[in-house]
């Protein structure tokens, strides 16, 4: 079985590699590129810990082959903070409002919420809960995750209004 030449943009950097087509995108990100932010939780596309942003959509990177992502534009949790290292409003809000306990689901939660707030900048609590329904957290009971996303949404719209 021959290897495939893959090329994609990840967190703003162009990446080229030879990979077996059967390589799952999550394994490529974590093992080839050392991007260990996206996690492998259930490995069955239920838990959302492996969520990344692919061509402007949230997807579960455990259920996509690297070859399918040819020429894609990808953002992982490593690409969410600002280039100067300061935290994104979502990251800051999760920190301030205890939106995590063990932290395992957090990269997927924040990456999903990042896209959710672009699709819907002012979501209701119900829209947030439905929007993150593909991400499981076994610690928090979701309350503080929802609160953190609400706070980040407010922060981001205040910033936008100021610009």
Partner 1 sequence: MIPGSFDYHRPSTIDEAIGLLASHVGDALILAGGHSLIPMMKLRMATPEHLIDIQDIYDLSAISIGANQIDIGATVTQAQLIHSEELADCCPILRETSLQIADPQIRNLGTIGGNVANGDPGNDMPAIMQLLDADYVLQGPDGTRTVKARAYYEAAYFTARSENEILTSIRFTKPAAGHGSSYHKQKRKIGDYATAAAAVMLEVSNGSCTSASIAMTNLADTPLWAEAAANALIGSALDADAIAAAVAAARAITNPASDGRGPAEYRTHLAGIMVKRAIETAHARAG
31 binds partner 1 (CB under 8 A): no
Within 68-97, the residues that bind partner 1 by CB under 8 A are 68, 70
Helix (H) / strand (E) element for 160: namely: helix 143-162
133 binds partner 1 (CB under 8 A): yes
* Binding residue for partner 1, selected from 15, 17, 20, 157, defined by CB under 8 A: 20
DSSP code, position 3: -
Q: Among all chains, which residue has been given the structure tokens 């069955």?
A: 44
* Binding residue for partner 1, selected from 32, 92, 104, 134, defined by CB under 8 A: 134
DSSP for 74-102, please give it. EE-GGGTS-TTSPPPHHHHHHHHTT--SS
Residues 6+ apart with CB under 8 A from 40: 26, 30, 49, 50, 62
- Provide the minimum distance between the beta carbon of 161 and partner 1 in the complex, in angstroms, as a whole number: 27
- Provide the minimum distance between the beta carbon of 141 and partner 1 in the complex, in angstroms, as a whole number: 15
* Binding residue for partner 1, selected from 8, 26, 35, 59, defined by CB under 8 A: 59
DSSP code, position 136: -
Under the rule (CB under 8 A), what is the footprint of partner 1?
Answer: 1-2, 4, 20-22, 24, 27, 43-46, 48, 51, 57-60, 63-65, 67-68, 70, 112, 116, 131, 133-134
């Amino acid at each position: 079985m021959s290897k495939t030449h893959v090329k994609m943009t990840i967190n703003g950097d162009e990446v080229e590699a030879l990979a077996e087509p059967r390589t799952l995108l999550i394994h490529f990100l974590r093992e080839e590129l050392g991007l260990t932010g996206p996690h492998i939780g259930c490995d069955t596309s239920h838990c959302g810990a492996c969520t990344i942003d692919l061509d402007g959509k949230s997807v579960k990177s455990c259920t996509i082959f690297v070859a399918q992502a040819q020429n894609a534009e990808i953002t992982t949790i490593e690409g969410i903070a600002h280039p100067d290292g300061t935290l994104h409003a979502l990251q800051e809000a999760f920190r301030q409002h205890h939106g995590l306990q063990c932290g395992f689901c957090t990269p997927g939660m924040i990456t999903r919420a990042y896209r959710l707030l672009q699709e819907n900048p002012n979501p209701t609590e119900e829209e947030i809960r439905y929007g993150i329904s593909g991400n499981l957290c076994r610690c928090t009971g979701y309350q503080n995750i929802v609160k953190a996303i609400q706070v980040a949404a407010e922060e981001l719209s205040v910033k936008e209004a100021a610009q």
